[in-house]
Amino acid sequence: MDEIPPSKGRLLLYVLCSYTVASLTAVLGITGQIFYWLIFDVCGFGKKQSNRKLNVTKSSNPNEYYTLIIGSGFSGLGAAIKLRELGTDNFVIIERHARVGGTWYANTYPGCACDVPSNLYSFSFEPNPNWSHFFGRQPEIGQYLEHCTDKYDIRRHIKFNTIVTEMKWLDDKQLWEVTTQSNGEENHIYAKFVMAGYGPLSNASFPKDIPGVDKFEGRMCHTAEWDKTLEFENKRVAVIGTGASAIQTVPELQKTGVKQLLVFQRTPPWVIPRADRKVTNFEKQLFAKFPAIQKLIRALVYWIRESTVLSFVYRLPTRYVNAELVKYNLRMHVKDEELRKKLTPTWELGCKRVLITNDWYPAIQKPNVKLVTNRIKEIKSNSIVTYDGDEYPVDIIIWSTGFLVQNFQLPIYGVNGKPLAEQWSETMQARVTVPNFPNFFFLLGPNTGLGHNSIIVMIEAQLQYITEALLYMQENNIQTLDVKPDVHDKFNHNLQAKLKKTVWQSGGCHSWYQDAKGNNTTIWPDFTWTYILLMKTFDFKNFIFQR
Ligand SMILES: Cc1cc2nc3c(=O)[nH]c(=O)nc-3n(C[C@H](O)[C@H](O)[C@H](O)COP(=O)(O)OP(=O)(O)OC[C@H]3O[C@@H](n4cnc5c(N)ncnc54)[C@H](O)[C@@H]3O)c2cc1C
Ligand SMILES: *[C@@H]1O[C@H](CO)[C@@H](O)[C@H](O)[C@H]1NC(C)=O
Ligand SMILES: *[C@@H]1O[C@H](CO)[C@@H](O)[C@H](O)[C@H]1NC(C)=O
Ligand SMILES: *[C@@H]1O[C@H](CO)[C@@H](O)[C@H](O)[C@H]1NC(C)=O
Ligand SMILES: *[C@@H]1O[C@H](CO)[C@@H](O)[C@H](O)[C@H]1NC(C)=O
Ligand SMILES: CC(=O)N[C@H]1CO[C@H](CO)[C@@H](O)[C@@H]1O
């Protein structure tokens, strides 16, 4: 911490080095992409998918579908769009919310935005020339998903305000029996396939080690369950947590005229600047007229992002360069040495999610904001007490404490009534499919999360795989597929072995990427293009089929 900061010349060298690595990756990546496209798509070494359709016959039971989709976020909507493209209407989407959007419907806290540029954080097949900023804000991402829903005529397939409460595989019928609840009424829906796009970040998490929450007499809410009726003016507000949502909302709350904003931090995040700006009308028109330009920007952003894998996963020396640059960013914005100490993480850049913002450091230094680093001991009727005995009076508490990533609660029963909870009691593992759970596809299941790039890339890769699987089954008259257990185990074993060496497991932190046993169940530890290639074709040899 008392290290001597590098000289100006050295810093300049670091910046140059960092830019060079990013540019080289981009050039190599885009060149590779063009060659791949020429060889496989233009010259037709890959199978043309556009004219391959599913031939699905409607069941006589009105409650039986070819596919049931859980969720209408990017995953669920993407799956529905693919099914329509494959020529079938025989599916239903179950959504517990009143509208589509998932993450982008639920998270309405002030400041909510994506942290991957919108040109990349959107479907590749549905570019949007209208993004107001480089990093789209929550309302417009929500609108974008509404737009996709209507454009691809998905809305009529969605049952809103309905929650999936249980799923059972019926061995004799080769069908999933899905129990749903809506308005207190229980229903059963049957489907040959289930595509589960329930969203790994859709169940809000609250700390379990803080007593007295129920005694609090003020108002409170979680960032993912935002209470629009909250008034902040002249109030004493506590934000608990300093993760991705907190760093977006604290700068906005600070501006609402709060009397005092207390930010309770357990561990500080590494922060890098957000290269954001408004998109001009000229650019929007350009994008609308020449979609190729937007495609190129998308590719550039994608490959520059991919270059971080070199330091996070492959541990190239660029990681030291990047570490110096984030430290410089902190030194430049926070002059007060004591505060800076509190804001300096003890782990390596990347181990916990790197946060992208320009407003966090300035906001935390405003006169009406106070960073509290002592652990919270308890909550009283009108205050928060820390372990060092300080008591902070508060009127409103904002929980910015993340999501239940590791507690999978959906009851699912596979072959012979085997519960998934039992199979996952040690650790959650999947590879789009899970052994003993035939015809069940996870969208963004275990180990498909990213610390560096747009998750939509992963969703689209999985949808490609599922499409290939469905077509293969139809072409070969197959009714059910179940992944071979040894293939599944080997895949996950290799994955965990690879993870061990990455920044997420060896970077000196404990994060929400890991489960209680220390297994890393969230991150895909590689380039996303290796995942895309892995998902490109259906590896039928790895499955057990029933006709
Ligand atoms: C604030 C925030 C910012 C983010 N920013 C980025 C970013 O910049 N880049 C990035 O790559 N990722 C980001 N993410 C991750 C984000 O979750 C994913 O990018 C993506 O939105 C996930 O889409 P999804 O459809 O898989 O899940 P979700 O969007 O969570 O959708 C799941 C849907 O399923 C529904 N559902 C769940 N269970 C049931 C059930 N039992 N019955 C019925 N319906 C159910 C939920 O209500 C929800 O609508 C962010 C996440 C958050 C919370
Ligand atoms: C679709 O399936 C039905 C019945 O299985 C069959 O009669 C029909 O010819 C098929 N159509 C196509 C285009 O394959
Ligand atoms: C962008 O805006 C135009 C004009 O308002 C609209 O027609 C188009 O559907 C929008 N595109 C998307 C992807 O939202
Ligand atoms: C999310 O929480 C709801 C309500 O507690 C629960 O029914 C559901 O199973 C949870 N989802 C997952 C994926 O754990
Ligand atoms: C991780 O998961 C494996 C099962 O794949 C389990 O045996 C092990 O106990 C878990 N925990 C650790 C720390 O490896
Ligand atoms: C399977 C695996 O890689 N497990 C490792 C997960 O990470 C913990 C530490 O975080 C290791 O102890 C495990 O061996």
Q: What is the pLDDT of residues 516-545, one digit of tens each?
A: 767 778 889 999 999 999 999 999 999 999
Spatial separation of the C-alpha atoms in residues 374 and 356, rounded to whole Å: 25
| Beta strand pairing call for 391-393 and 383-386 | antiparallel
pLDDT at 128 over 80: yes
Q: What CATH number corresponds to the domain at position 192?
A: 3.50.50.60
Mean pLDDT calculated for residue range 353-363: 94
**Tokens representing residue 278 in the block:** 């408004």
The sign of the dihedral angle between the CA atoms of 97, 98, 100, 105 is negative
**Tokens representing residue 42 in the block:** 């233009």
Ligand of minimum distance to the alpha carbon of 430: 5
Which of 54, 55, 471, 479, when mutated, tests ligand 2's pocket best, judged by the most ligand atoms within 8 Å of its CB?
A: 55
Question: How far does residue 410's CA lie from ligand 4's centre (Å)?
Answer: 6
Position 49 scores a pLDDT of 55
Q: What is the pLDDT of residues 485-524, one digit of tens each?
A: 999 999 999 998 888 888 888 777 878 777 776 777 888 9
Residue 139 maps to a domain: no
Quote the mean pLDDT of the chain: 93
Q: HSE on the CB side for 270, CA within 13 Å?
A: 21
Residue 292 maps to a domain: no
Spatial separation of the C-alpha atoms in residues 1 and 254, rounded to whole Å: 29
Cβ within 8 Å of residue 433, ≥6 positions away = 440, 441, 442, 481, 482, 483, 488
Residue 420 maps to a domain: yes
If one compares 401 and 505, the residue with the highest pLDDT of the two is 401
Contact 164, 180 (CB under 8 A): yes
pLDDT at 400 over 70: yes
Read out DSSP for 365-377?
A: TSTTEEEE-SPEE
Residue 503 maps to a domain: no
Position 528 scores a pLDDT of 94
Q: Which has the minimum average pLDDT: 182-196, 340-354, 475-489?
A: 340-354
Residue 515 maps to a domain: no
Ligand of minimum distance to the alpha carbon of 132: 3
Mean pLDDT calculated for residue range 365-380: 96
Ligand of minimum distance to the alpha carbon of 149: 3
Which of 496, 519, 522, when mutated, tests ligand 5's pocket best, judged by the most ligand atoms within 8 Å of its CB?
A: 519
The count of domains in the chain is 1
Give the pocket of ligand 1 (CB within 6 Å).
Answer: 70-76, 94-97, 102-103, 107, 112, 114-116, 121, 163-164, 197-199, 201-202, 245, 410, 443-444, 454-455
Spatial separation of the C-alpha atoms in residues 343 and 337, rounded to whole Å: 10
Residue 169 maps to a domain: yes
Ligand of minimum distance to the alpha carbon of 55: 2
Position 45 scores a pLDDT of 63
Position 347 scores a pLDDT of 86
Spatial separation of the C-alpha atoms in residues 341 and 255, rounded to whole Å: 25
Question: How far does residue 444's CA lie from ligand 1's centre (Å)?
Answer: 9
Question: Cβ(147) to ligand 3 under 6 A?
Answer: yes
Q: What is the pLDDT of residues 276-306, one digit of tens each?
A: 999 999 999 999 999 999 999 999 999 999 9
Q: Which helix (H) or strand (E) holds 309?
A: helix 309-312
Ligand of minimum distance to the alpha carbon of 499: 6
pLDDT at 162 over 70: yes
Position 520 scores a pLDDT of 74
Residue 436 maps to a domain: yes
Which atom of ligand 6 is least distant from the CA of 493? 1
Question: How far does residue 198's CA lie from ligand 4's centre (Å)?
Answer: 9
Residue 33 maps to a domain: no
pLDDT at 165 over 80: yes
Mean pLDDT calculated for residue range 448-470: 95
Question: Cβ(410) to ligand 4 under 6 A?
Answer: yes
Q: For residue 421, what are the domain limits?
A: 64-100+154-203+408-493+522-546
Spatial separation of the C-alpha atoms in residues 194 and 181, rounded to whole Å: 17
Residue nearest to atom 6 of ligand 5 (CA): 426
Mean pLDDT calculated for residue range 132-138: 96
pLDDT at 270 over 90: yes
Confidence of residue 454 (pLDDT cuts 50, 70, 90): very high
User: Which residues lie across from 435 on neighbouring strands?
Assistant: none
Q: What is the pLDDT of residues 70-92, one digit of tens each?
A: 999 999 999 999 999 999 999 99
Spatial separation of the C-alpha atoms in residues 518 and 284, rounded to whole Å: 46
What region does 18 belong to: left with phi over 0, alpha with psi -120 to 50, or beta?
alpha
Which of 119, 147, 281, when mutated, tests ligand 3's pocket best, judged by the most ligand atoms within 8 Å of its CB?
A: 147
Position 27 scores a pLDDT of 92
Question: Cβ(518) to ligand 5 under 6 A?
Answer: yes
Confidence of residue 1 (pLDDT cuts 50, 70, 90): very low
Q: What is the pLDDT of residues 202-230, one digit of tens each?
A: 999 999 989 999 999 999 999 999 999 99
Mean pLDDT calculated for residue range 419-430: 88
